[in-house]
Structure 1
């Protein structure tokens, strides 16, 4: 069931990201990294559909995280790029070609290699609060630093910086979602609402959403989605192993395959993200506009 919910979540997320980017490209650049961007986008039906798909993906992902370890669920969520690729390929009618198929097999094979070699399983949750806050602080601080740097960066790296920042926040959000789910099942609704984690999940989600939409607004999907998709599982796995007590096989052979799997995932993500089927910017937006009824 963990696999089913995680892959279903990835499907919803991938489709949702494409629809959101289609709409965000039309937003005025004056809204960059401003809450006004979300207020403008909320009036676009395509964006609302994309957000609806993303919310469905997050709910399914939360169910998967409540049943399985973060280190298991995060690599599966990274397959959202395969579904984004499928929708983009349908929109653009581009064949996959060698790079597309290569990226697909590297991503799928990398996820399988990491899970089979690592055998993620639960352990005792780390109780040291300093370790919790250190890891969370590094992730959130790094994400905010990247977002600040994106304001001064060249246009070509602005979107990837924001996407990595969003991916780091989403990784922390997934870890805290698992904590909140455990708390709800063990301690009940009152303790759930009195704890800080659910509110941190909402704050992280809203901030990451602003970063993602700003990245989608400033550059083609191929410039942002690969960075987002690669950063989220790495951040989530770091949190899972760092303070949630996730355990991985640490024998030399297993570690080698895990590293190989993670490298294959990142390379596959980059290859798929840079494929011509991915929306390339204003030309794609203009094509979508032309297809709409007047």
Structure 2
């Protein structure tokens, strides 16, 4: 493991912090809106004029920039799993913003996720692939399948209760951001090879921007539809899952095999368990309930 790998891990962790800030502040901004109001252009316009939402948006932009730089130094299948640390970081930020405390279940989940992530990345030890040599047909098949997954999840979000709809939208958001990261990886590779000309002339740059916007819009939809605890697992788990699949199957990034898959599997299971534990944290549920009560109560008091 070289200095470039370590730097990519640090930048990925900072990107996760930006995502956590975005999750909390944009959820807080959504709670300030009328819960009966339908999601649409008017709601989006009101959100973007909210200082709280803008703070969250800046966190998201900062996260994308840090993530892009991290991908320039490291591998897609190593950087993106580290982004899952946004779940414990979301709780830390939420506790700070809403004046609450973390208890033993939350700290257990945080430690479980952190240890699992270290074990997963260390066991797989991803090595560079061939992101600049992928055939157009491969891009079309893999990209089409991923885009179809996003469309399917959005379609499923049009039926069922608020928790189901929010969970589906959360998964659609994570899938969109995972696909964005894969194309950012190609854009960074073009920048290394051909400079700014490579960035501006490669179609992956514009696809990355497009799916980034899609992810941002669907994220607002999810946060307005239901509680953060329902959306967070989708935000967190789908992004690295999509990225790792693209990294290994499309970009031919090499990882350790054989018995190394045993600790990698244990680490991945620990991360998943930690995500589920934290996503159903009573603290996160209380934050949503208390914030909703405070938001609904304010107009009445006025």
TM-score, with length taken from structure 2: 0.89
Question: Residue in 2 aligned with 1:137?
Answer: 144
Q: Which runs of 5 or more residues in structure 2 are unaligned? A: 1-6
1:60 counterpart (63, 66, 72): 66
Alignment of 1:87-106 (within 5 A): 87-90=93-96, 91-97=98-104, 99-106=105-112
Q: Which shifted more, 87-96 or 155-164?
A: 87-96
1:154, CA displacement in angstroms? Answer: 2.0
Match of 2:84 in 1: 78
Are residues 1:121 and 2:127 paired? yes
Aligned residues: 290
1:186 aligns with 2:193: yes
Query: Aligned equivalents of 1:239 and 1:37: distance in 2?
Result: 34
- SS in structure 1 opposite 2:70? helix
Give the distance between the partners of 2:94 and 2:198, measured in 1 at CA: 43
Aligned partners of 1:219 and 1:281 also within 8 Å: no
Partner of 2:3: none
Which residue does 2:291 correspond to in 1? 284
Match of 2:204 in 1: 197
SS of the aligned residue for 1:79 comes to: helix
Task: Return the match for 1:242 from 249, 254, 270.
Answer: 249
**Match status 1:210 vs 2:217:** yes
Structure 1 residues 61 and 288: CA distance shift in structure 2, 3 A: farther
- State the shift of 1:219 in Å: 1.1
Distance 1:150 1:257 in 2: 35
CA contact (8 A) 1:171 1:239 kept: no
Query: Is the Cα–Cα contact under 8 Å of residues 139 and 168 in structure 1 kept in the other structure?
Result: yes
State which of 13, 19, 25 in structure 2 corresponds to 1:13.
19
1:16–1:54 CA contact under 8 A, matched in 2: yes
Write out the 4+ residue segments of structure 1 that deviate beyond 4 Å after TM superposition. 288-291
Shift of residue 92, structure 1, vs aligned partner = 4.5
Query: 3-state DSSP class of the match of 2:283?
Result: coil
Residues 1:151 and 2:158 are matched in the alignment: yes
Greater alpha carbon shift after TM alignment, 63-72 vs 85-94? 85-94
